[in-house]
């Protein structure tokens, strides 16, 4: 499901099942297709005559396996509409919605770039001293400083122009998920916890860096899977020409 994890409908709340009804009702109003018809399409059979399905569904009193069938049907036929109504229940249609998600949900101020001297003995945090623009020169050595709220597995992505790419933050220099702890840490780092120098040498302009941390293990697919336990940290940096 794009960047939302598959929902466990056997443990979903009554409130979420009521939200599912609201989504289906909105789709009905937009398309003219009655809610009952869409439910029958999802179930693959006719509703029982005389049963007050809609009143129960409206209150979230619908069997969880049936809610799962309706959810899957909506994703197949009306996902874009559903996502605008209940983004926590439906996957983003494309990367534009991932970027919209970042603007509204990403945590800002806890992920920074820190400038490193060539000797790595001097660290300067980019964006301090009320410098909200976060400028850095091409070729300038840096690493990341993350103040994580949770322990967990982390994957990282860099956004530039129309593309998103994984960032190689693993101790072996790969983009595989890495482990982080709650609190402040420099990344990437050696097994001895020393910062590893990085730099942007070619691409001028605005870059977005996103670190996604979850207590559970994750893969480095894009868009990443997130849920209520996930923390998504964002920093934007403008790379300018060398002096």
Look at residue 120 in the predicted model and tell me its pLDDT: 46
Look at residue 83 in the predicted model and tell me its pLDDT: 81
145 three-class SS: strand
Q: How far is CA 34 from CA 37, 72, 110, 159, 218, in A?
A: 5, 18, 47, 42, 39
Cα–Cα distance for residue pair 203/205, rounded to 1 Å: 7
Residue 184 β-bridge partners: 147
Look at residue 21 in the predicted model and tell me its pLDDT: 94
Structure tokens, 98: 């991932």
Cα–Cα distance for residue pair 2/93, rounded to 1 Å: 8
Look at residue 207 in the predicted model and tell me its pLDDT: 93
Look at residue 75 in the predicted model and tell me its pLDDT: 86
Class of domain 104-240: mainly beta
Rounded to 5°, the CA angle 32-34-83 comes to 75
The stretches in the chain having pLDDT less than 70 are 1-6, 48-51, 92-97, 117-133, 162, 171-175, 243
Cα–Cα distance for residue pair 133/131, rounded to 1 Å: 6
Q: What is the per-residue DSSP string for 206-235? A: EEEEEEEEESS-----SSPPB-TT-EEEEE
> Could you state, in order of their start, the residue ranges of all structural domains in the chain?
14-91, 104-240
CA 41 remoteness from chain centre:
31
CB 239 within 8 Å of CB 205: yes
The overall pTM is greater than 0.75 = no
């Amino acid at each position: 499901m794009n960047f939302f994890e598959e929902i466990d409908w056997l443990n979903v709340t009554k409130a979420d099942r009521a939200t599912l009804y609201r989504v289906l009702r909105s789709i009905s109003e937009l398309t003219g297709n009655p809610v009952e018809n869409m439910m029958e399409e999802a179930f693959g059979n006719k509703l029982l005559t005389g049963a007050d399905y809609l009143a129960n569904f409206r209150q979230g009193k619908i069997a969880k396996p049936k809610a799962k069938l309706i959810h899957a049907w909506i994703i197949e036929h009306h996902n874009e509409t559903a996502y605008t109504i209940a983004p926590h229940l439906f996957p983003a249609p494309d990367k534009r919605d991932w970027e919209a998600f970042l603007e509204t949900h990403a945590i800002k101020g806890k992920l920074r770039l820190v400038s490193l001297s060539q000797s790595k003995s001097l660290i300067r945090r980019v964006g301090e001293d009320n410098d909200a623009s976060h400028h850095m020169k091409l070729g300038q050595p840096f690493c990341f400083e993350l103040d994580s709220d949770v322990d967990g597995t982390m994957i990282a992505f860099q956004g530039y122009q129309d593309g998103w790419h994984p960032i190689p933050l693993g101790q072996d220099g790969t983009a595989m998920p890495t482990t982080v702890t709650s609190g402040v840490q420099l990344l990437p780092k050696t097994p001895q916890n020393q910062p590893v120098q990085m730099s942007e040498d070619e691409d001028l302009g605005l870059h977005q860096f996103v670190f996604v941390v979850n207590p559970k293990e994750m893969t480095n697919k894009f868009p990443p899977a997130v849920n209520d336990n996930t923390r998504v940290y964002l920093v934007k940096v403008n790379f300018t020409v060398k002096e």
